[in-house]
Amino acid sequence: MEIQKIDLLQKDMPKKWYNIQADLPKPLDPPLGPDGKPIGPDALAAIFPMSLIEQEVSQERWIDIPEPVLDAYNRWRPAPIFRAIHLEKALKTPAKIYYKYEGCSPAGSHKPNTSIAQAYFNAQAGVKRITTETGAGQWGSALAFAGALFGIEVRVFMVKVSYNLKPYRRMLMNVWGAECIPSPSDQTQYGRKLLAEDPDNPGSLGVAISEAVEEAATRKDTNYSLGSVLNHVCMHQTIIGLESKKQLESIGVYPDVVIGCIGGGSNFAGISFPYIHDKITQNKKVDIVAVEPCACPTVTKGEYEYDYGDTAGMAPILKMYTLGHSFMPPSIHAGGLRYHGMSPLVSAVVNQGFVEARSYHQNEIFDAGILFARTEGIVPAPETNHAVRAAIHEAEKAREEGKEKTILFNFSGHGFFDLSSYDLYLGNHLEDYEYPSEAIEKALKDLPFRK
């Protein structure tokens, strides 16, 4: 009987997050204000608590996870690692495929790893109310969950097209006591402006960010919370990779390949940074693969440049891979990967040569999801299917090369709220999008300080 589930005892859970800024050979470029000058912590203090701002710029390698955050993590963490032996058999591969299962969190994805930390630090700072945005709804529900735990009121601006298509996500937020409103809304100046221009504006993640930031910046009792992209968010997610190292170590395994999907970059950062640490500091031989959709090819076709994080240009300007903040990706079903930019830290590890980026089309990632569901049982989210597809790709390569490779990928979330996308796929109704390079070139012209 093969062992398929590798648990870690709760008492052995890591007690610190890993901050990769301490180890980057070339440090991050600073965030800029609209005038092109570096902004200091004060500029962020209107919407973030000082403790998170400190984490954002910290150069400390290890940062203690506070007891109440560990306590909240312990509602489901440590998350299990599974060996996908039935998928291996179906692929007739000599490779061993392991996946870290983040779908076991109450919200169904990796997002609570940071929503809980952010809610805690805000509660510590006396904040009673937080706004945020959400696309497909994973982040919004994760913050709603964390708000319930720490007694913080949560208001979520949800991209209108998703709000209408995914009513269960809105209901889930309500169950945890949060308010969820479709964006653009009449609750902000920016939202009202857009609705005046077009009452049927379907919304976008960039627009929802602008609304949430505006409300937090203009209300003294309200802070803002972001579910990906920022340095402190990536750091909170490193609990994923740190746990996985302990678990694999307990069975004497170190991976040859580590895989995660990228939208804003946080789940990929979570699984990969602890391994990139080994690569940087011990010259460890491990391939790190970041996977994105062909329809939103931020890293594979974008530029490494300064750009706005949101559509309205209210958020700070970050050095990152970007397709231009006016880029509007097609409505693919991996809603969480439809973002024009990329976490500055993830951008840096790609740019500094530690990570290979790769893209897949949506029909091939659903092929992978169906094969996974019918062999391993668990139904992955469309975002996660990108990582599944890459893991299958690596396992097939191992078969062709006759190599006994060990593959680890991050199973970022389950697909129980995405079944209508599977339904369209099974009915042969999904399109593959190849973004024309002229459209990308056009959006890149909007970069604020392009050389």
Interaction site with a copy of itself (CB under 8 A):
1-5, 7, 9-11, 67, 70-71, 74-78, 82, 86, 104-108, 145, 148-149, 167-168, 171-172, 174-177, 370, 373-379, 416-417, 419-420, 422-423, 426
- What is the closest distance, in whole angstroms, from the C-beta atom of residue 392 to a copy of itself in the complex? 17
- What is the closest distance, in whole angstroms, from the C-beta atom of residue 137 to a copy of itself in the complex? 11
Could you tell me whether strands 356-360 and 287-293 are parallel, antiparallel, or unpaired per DSSP bridges?
parallel
Closest CA to 389 of 415, 361, 412: 361
List Cβ<8 Å contacts ≥24 apart for 181-185: 181/155, 181/156, 181/157, 182/157, 182/158, 183/133, 183/157, 183/158, 183/159, 183/207, 183/208, 183/211, 184/160, 184/211, 185/157, 185/211
Closest CA to 78 of 168, 143, 171, 10: 10
Which residue's CB is nearer to a copy of itself, number 105 or number 162? 105
- In the chain the first and final C-alpha atoms are separated, in Å, by 60
- What is the closest distance, in whole angstroms, from the C-beta atom of residue 372 to a copy of itself in the complex? 10
Phi and psi torsions of 84, nearest 5°: -90, 65
Euclidean distance between CA atoms 127 and 50, whole angstroms:
12
Closest CA to 138 of 319, 261, 231, 257: 261
Contact 170, 158 (CB under 8 A): yes
Write down the residue that tokens 């530029």 correspond to: 303
Write down the residue that tokens 């958020």 correspond to: 315
Which residue's CB is nearer to a copy of itself, number 18 or number 82? 82
Judge residue 94's burial from the number of C-beta atoms within 10 Å of its C-beta, 0-12 exposed, 13-18 middle, 19 or more buried: middle
- What is the closest distance, in whole angstroms, from the C-beta atom of residue 78 to a copy of itself in the complex? 8
- What is the closest distance, in whole angstroms, from the C-beta atom of residue 183 to a copy of itself in the complex? 20
- What is the closest distance, in whole angstroms, from the C-beta atom of residue 145 to a copy of itself in the complex? 6
Euclidean distance between CA atoms 234 and 19, whole angstroms:
8
- What is the closest distance, in whole angstroms, from the C-beta atom of residue 365 to a copy of itself in the complex? 14
- What is the closest distance, in whole angstroms, from the C-beta atom of residue 34 to a copy of itself in the complex? 40
Contact 371, 395 (CB under 8 A): no
Which residue's CB is nearer to a copy of itself, number 174 or number 189? 174
Judge residue 29's burial from the number of C-beta atoms within 10 Å of its C-beta, 0-12 exposed, 13-18 middle, 19 or more buried: middle
Which residue's CB is nearer to a copy of itself, number 410 or number 421? 421
Which residue's CB is nearer to a copy of itself, number 84 or number 346? 84
Which residue's CB is nearer to a copy of itself, number 416 or number 449? 416
- What is the closest distance, in whole angstroms, from the C-beta atom of residue 366 to a copy of itself in the complex? 10
Which residue's CB is nearer to a copy of itself, number 72 or number 95? 72
Euclidean distance between CA atoms 6 and 255, whole angstroms:
15
- What is the closest distance, in whole angstroms, from the C-beta atom of residue 84 to a copy of itself in the complex? 9
Which residue's CB is nearer to a copy of itself, number 28 or number 148? 148
Which residue's CB is nearer to a copy of itself, number 77 or number 245? 77
Which residue's CB is nearer to a copy of itself, number 331 or number 375? 375
Euclidean distance between CA atoms 18 and 410, whole angstroms:
17
